[in-house]
Amino acid sequence: MLKKLLLPMLLALPSLGYEIVIDKTINVSGFTRDDVKEVVINNKTGLMWQDDARAKSVKKTWSDAKTYCKSLKHAGFNDWYLPSISQLESLIDNKKHDPAIKTVFENTVSSDYWSSSSVVSISYGAWNAYFKYGYTYYSNKTNTYHVRCARAGQ
């Protein structure tokens, strides 16, 4: 938003001999967004999250979601995985809804996202996060839900 507001000013300033450089990263509540790589990094754990247009559009079954993340090539990395339910829960912002996710994430739909966590007592079930209201529950692994991949930080 700030970048959109500054753009007209940026266009006018070079003719006056001034130059403004806007950083391509944004820090919000313990997370840093890299707009160039389209990722969000948890500053405490180093966990990197995919946050490109595919995080809004790709829908898979649970098994296909795991395969998709394993084969994802994004931001110069190829070691992505489907995150656990506790990792997905760390993105939830209970003060928000529709979507109930930290504001640093730009590519989220208010819907279900798969985790890699199976339900121990139900072989056909896996946990997912529902980012409309910010809660988790389990579903049949054959359902199709959105996918947001993660990778361990450097």
Question: What would the pLDDT profile of 68-94 be if each residue is shown by its tens digit?
Answer: 999 999 999 999 999 999 999 999 999
Identify the pLDDT of residue 26.
61
- Residue in the block written with tokens 């890699």: 116
Torsion of the alpha carbons at 64, 52, 85 and 101, rounded to the nearest 10: -140
What H or E segment, with its residue span, contains residue 16? none
Strand 31-34 to 25-28 pairing: antiparallel
Neighbouring-strand partners of residue 126: 118, 139
Question: What would the pLDDT profile of 87-131 be if each residue is shown by its tens digit?
Answer: 999 999 999 999 999 999 999 999 999 999 999 999 999 999 999
Identify the pLDDT of residue 4.
38
Question: What would the pLDDT profile of 27-48 be if each residue is shown by its tens digit?
Answer: 667 999 999 999 999 999 999 9
Spans of all domains in the chain: 50-151
